[in-house]
Amino acid sequence: MRHACVLTLMALFFFYATPTLAGQYDRNGIRDLITLGLEVNLGLQLENLDVAKGKEAIEQERSVFDSTFFAVAEYKRSVFPYDSTMSLSSESRSEDFSGQMGLRKQFKTGLMSSVSLDSQWLSDNESSENLDPRYRTALVLELSQPLLQNFGTAVNTTLLNVSKNKERQAVLNYLLSAQNLILQLEVAARQLAEKAEIIKLRQQSLALSHELYAANQKRFKAGVIAVTEIQEAETEVAARQLALSLAIQEQDLLKEDINRQLNQDLPEDFNPEDLVDFEEGIKPLTLPLLEDLVETAQRQRLELKISDFSIQSSSLQQDYLRNQLKPQLDLNLQFGLNGLSGDKRTSTPRGEYSGHWLDSFAGASEADGYRWQAGFELTMPIGNRAAKSRYRQAKLQLRQDRYRYKDLESIIRNDLLQQQINISQTRKQLEITERVEALAKKSLDQEQRRLQEGLSDTFRIIIFQQRMVEAMVDRVNAFTRYHLALAQMDFALGHTFKRHHIVLRNNTEELTLENI
């Protein structure tokens, strides 16, 4: 039952992160942002509507096999002149009122059946008829069963099964869109937290430059340094003010991008500083072998499941169109019971079937008359070029879908390999930046002591401050890149929901992604 649990997902349209629920949004934490995004993101809601549309498409295909009630009523009057030695009249007159009602149903085997009740009121001047007006009633059963083309449940439920596959694809596309949204929100949230941390570092850097500028002013007044060193310090203050302004601009733009993803529901007092703890240490990590990662991704990646359903649908279409290559040979059966009643003509003795309209129903039920018919109907286009062309096209479509599946497997494998490289290298870069930051802080402390002893100058202090600040910024950037590489790997493995402890709720039942 490779896709059995996908059927269960038909009724699942909403995500919840436990224990955080709608209406309990905490502004702290990436997971809470993701929870809010899954609830309010308009793009995800649009995908959700595709699932509902898929359900309606299934209902439309199922309705093909519903019973259909039909009713027909007709009135006809005619006068035909004629010249005959057998009759004194010079014209034939008749009035005919007829009605029909019944049920018609198509079965999945291809059988088309109908049962109908036909009734007719007829009045004419035909002297050979003892009844005028007369009533004819018939109960008719008609059956038509294809024997070659359109024979069998598999053929006649092709469109229904294809629509079911499309609905499953809509569910999976919805889940995939949710995964993409989660990844986008995590990326944006970590980058936003990174910008907030960099702003703090830029503010600290600006404070250092102000301290240096103030100290230089005092030293200049004391005649210890030249005016150029004051100018250098003042220039550095302006440069760091610019760097701080640029960092604030980047943060505000990124915040607005997240707000758009959240349908403008992000509170104005939202503080991104609590999203990420940049003092968190590097946890031990052992990456599995590439082949193990590929095996996991092949079980979990929704794109592969979506592609697999495309292959199934193309295979169904190919089987259906192969059947359409056969001639149309139908077995047609008909059986009916007929009844007659009416008013006797004044010049004739009482007829055997004289009576009212309802008497014709009684006659039909007693099988006063009957009719049956059996036959075969064969239709076979010469050359059958259109059906052959459609079948060849279906075979090509199936090959295309299989190629897409193989190409997708290759893309996923390459993606996993790239994420392995990203994790390995960003981890090394984070370790390096931590060492560089520690060395830069130590160097600045040493240079500050040299300055106090008169062995350094403003230019060197500025350089050492810049190195320390840039080292701290580099560490923050490396920290973000490393954790985003981990998020990308989880996405490549299909573990995005698991990463953030997000489950699907269906009343009392909970399904995680691994149940699909």
The residue extents of the domains of the chain are: 4-40+158-316+391-496, 64-146+328-379
Q: What are the tokens at 135? A: 């009533």
Taking only the tens place, the pLDDT of each residue in 266-314 is: 877 788 988 999 988 888 888 899 999 999 999 999 999 999 999 999 9
- Mean pLDDT of the region 436-440: 95
DSSP assignment of 240-260 equals HHHHHHHHHHHHHHHHHHHHH
Range in 128-142, 211-225, 433-447, 463-477 with the lowest mean pLDDT: 128-142
Query: Residue 507: pLDDT above 80?
Result: no
Q: Is the pLDDT of residue 18 over 80?
A: no
User: Which pLDDT score, from 0 to 100, does residue 347 have?
Assistant: 63
Angle, helix 42-62 to helix 158-221, in steps of 10 degrees: 180
Point out the least confidently predicted range of 90-94, 288-292, 349-353, 472-476: 349-353
Q: Chain-wide mean pLDDT for the chain?
A: 87
- The CATH architecture that domain 4-40+158-316+391-496 belongs to is Up-down Bundle (1.20)
Q: Which pLDDT tens digit goes with each residue over 156-186?
A: 999 999 999 999 999 999 999 999 999 999 9
Q: What does the pLDDT read at residue 129?
A: 74
* 27 has pLDDT over 80: no
For residue 9, the model assigns a pLDDT of: 39
DSSP labels, 119-169: EEEEEE--TT-SEEEEEEEEEEEEEEEESSTT-SHHHHTHHHHHHHHHHHH
CA torsion sign for 495, 499, 505, 511 is positive
Segment (H or E) for 449: helix 385-452
- What is the per-residue pLDDT across 391-432, written as a single tens digit (0 to 9) for each? 999 999 999 999 999 999 999 999 999 999 999 999 999 999
What is the DSSP-derived secondary structure letter of residue 311? H
Query: Closest Cα partner for 447 from 207, 212, 200?
Result: 212
pTM (two decimals): 0.83
Please give the pLDDT value at position 417: 96
CA distance between the termini of the chain: 11
State both tokens at 80. Answer: 């035909």
Which structure tokens are listed for 244?
A: 């701080």
318-333 tens-digit pLDDT: 999 999 999 999 999 9
pLDDT for 80: 75
Higher pLDDT, 24 or 199: 199
Q: Does the structure show a pLDDT above 60 at 5?
A: no
Q: Which residues are within 8 A (CB) of 147 and not within 5 positions of it... i.e. 6 or more apart?
A: 329, 330, 331
User: Residue for token digits 């590489």?
Assistant: 485
Interatomic CA distance for residues 275 and 193, integer angstroms: 6
Beta-carbon count within 10 A of 42 CB: 11
The count of other CB atoms within 10 Å of the CB of residue 46 is 11
pLDDT of residue 57: 95
Residues 493, 416 contacting (CB under 8 angstroms): yes
pLDDT, position 464: 93
| pLDDT of 3 | 42
CB 482 within 8 A of CB 488: no
Say how many C-beta atoms besides its own lie within 10 A of residue 346's C-beta. 6
Q: In the chain, pLDDT over 90 holds for what percent of residues?
A: 66
The pLDDT tens digits of the residues spanning 38-63 come to 989 999 999 989 999 999 999 999 99
